[in-house]
Amino acid sequence: MKWFNMIEPSPLGCNRMTTEQEMMLEDPDYTDFIRKVERSTGINLADYKESQMKRRLTTLRVKKGFNTFADFYDVMAKDKQLLHEFLDRMTINVSEFWRNPNRWEVLRDQVLPLLMEQNPGKLKIWSAACSTGEEPYTLAMILADKQLLSRAQIVATDIDDGVIHKAKEGLYVERSLKDVPVEVAERYFRAEGSFYRFSESLKKEVLFQKQNLLTDRFEAGYDLIVCRNVMIYFTEEAKHKLYLKFAASLRPGGFLFVGSTEQIFNPLQYGMESHETFFYRKVQ
Ligand SMILES: C[S@@+](CC[C@H](N)C(=O)[O-])C[C@H]1O[C@@H](n2cnc3c(N)ncnc32)[C@H](O)[C@@H]1O
């Protein structure tokens, strides 16, 4: 679309840009901020969809009283608390146990049995962009209920130290348990004031690590990679590179489990085929 077509007519008769349109214009202040953030943190904001990211960060900048991203960065470089708030705002950490329950049933009843059949050894499982732990702990509960914990190792990673800390703590509000089957919740959670504490023994089954999916190297030989509700924030180019990396780190026959808005267009280009909705299998 040509730029002049995007300008909305204002009620006063002259043409006026919407905030969204203003933000899409080349903005040296923001571009410079992106460069400095990458240099100091290794996080490249340009890999994330620009309009969403810029909107979130602009809201934070204005709330903190800075007129420009340059001023915002100067203070953030010295102020750890502000840096944490920035990281918090750029990484959206919402998660739940058993998010989209019927997909976890497919994992439990169809995918896991296939994986057990093809790999008689230990299953190597990775929850990528695990946020506060709901996803890897859902995996741990499912494996425990199938008495498969000793046959699997679960690694969980996220770019954000803060969420990893919370995951290790394992304390959750009731809302994040809403899709956990009642009898499962009774087995693995204990009420603590208005919170719920996740089982100490299952916690030990998950190894948490900090990792940036877009820049760090991946281990190979995974049977199952669960990566949900983070790819929607990435640009098409960043997603493409990530799918290539995931495919390379799966063993043949291994599965990639994605979020419900993250279907892969033409998975064969990555050497994967669609198995069940939101599950892709590396071609053997
Ligand atoms: C919306 S949460 C998804 C949590 C969980 N996977 C789920 O579906 O419930 C997105 C997570 O992605 C993480 N994240 C964002 N960018 C990342 C990156 N480049 N590498 C690794 N994790 C990232 C955020 O810190 C956040 O915890």
Q: What integer pLDDT is reported at residue 6 of this predicted model? A: 33
Mean pLDDT across the stretch 226-238?
95
Q: For residues 69 and 32, is the Cβ–Cβ distance under 8 A?
A: yes
Distance between CA atoms of residues 190 and 34, nearest Å:
43
This prediction has a pTM of 0.88
- Cα distance from N-terminal residue to C-terminal residue, the chain: 43
Beta strands in 25-143 (DSSP E): 123-128
Ligand 1 centroid vs 28 CA: distance in angstroms? 28
- Ligand 1 atom nearest residue 160's Cα: 25
Could you report the per-residue pLDDT of 181-215, keeping only the tens digit for each? 999 999 999 999 999 999 999 999 999 999 999 99
Q: What integer pLDDT is reported at residue 26 of this predicted model? A: 79
Could you report the per-residue pLDDT of 69-85, keeping only the tens digit for each? 999 999 999 999 999 89
Whether ligand 1 lies within 6 angstroms of the CB of 185 is answered as no
> Greater confidence, 23 or 116?
116
Average pLDDT taken over every residue of the chain:
90
Ligand 1 centroid vs 142 CA: distance in angstroms? 21
From residue 164, give the alpha-carbon distance in Å to each of 132, 156, 208, 273. Answer: 6, 9, 7, 32
pLDDT(13) > 70: no
Could you report the per-residue pLDDT of 122-136, keeping only the tens digit for each? 999 999 999 999 999
Could you report the per-residue pLDDT of 22-37, keeping only the tens digit for each? 445 578 999 999 999 9
Mean pLDDT across the stretch 209-225?
97
Distance between CA atoms of residues 199 and 193, nearest Å:
16
Percentage of residues in the chain with pLDDT exceeding 90? Answer: 85
CA 144, 170, 203, 135: dihedral to nearest 10 degrees? 50
- Ligand 1 atom nearest residue 90's Cα: 15
Beta-sheet strand order (sheet of 171-173): 171-173, 195-198, 189-192
Whether ligand 1 lies within 6 angstroms of the CB of 129 is answered as yes
Best CA proximity match to 72, nearest among 57, 87, 90, 92: 57
Ligand 1 centroid vs 130 CA: distance in angstroms? 6
- Ligand 1 atom nearest residue 99's Cα: 9
Going by alpha carbons, the residue nearest to atom 7 of ligand 1 is: 95
- Ligand 1 atom nearest residue 132's Cα: 27
Distance between CA atoms of residues 42 and 52, nearest Å:
20
Ligand 1 centroid vs 179 CA: distance in angstroms? 20
Q: What integer pLDDT is reported at residue 243 of this predicted model? A: 97
Whether ligand 1 lies within 6 angstroms of the CB of 239 is answered as no
Whether ligand 1 lies within 6 angstroms of the CB of 53 is answered as no
pLDDT(66) > 50: yes
Q: What integer pLDDT is reported at residue 25 of this predicted model? A: 58
- Ligand 1 atom nearest residue 94's Cα: 1
Q: What integer pLDDT is reported at residue 14 of this predicted model? A: 38
Best CA proximity match to 174, nearest among 156, 191, 152: 191
Q: What integer pLDDT is reported at residue 179 of this predicted model? A: 95
**pLDDT range class, residue 3, cuts 50, 70, 90:** very low
Helices 161-169 and 80-90 sit at what angle, rounded to 10 degrees?
80
Whether ligand 1 lies within 6 angstroms of the CB of 156 is answered as no
pLDDT(4) > 80: no
pLDDT(62) > 80: yes
Whether ligand 1 lies within 6 angstroms of the CB of 47 is answered as no
Mean pLDDT across the stretch 273-283?
95
pLDDT(52) > 70: yes
Two structure tokens written together for 220 = 């190979």
Q: What integer pLDDT is reported at residue 284 of this predicted model? A: 84
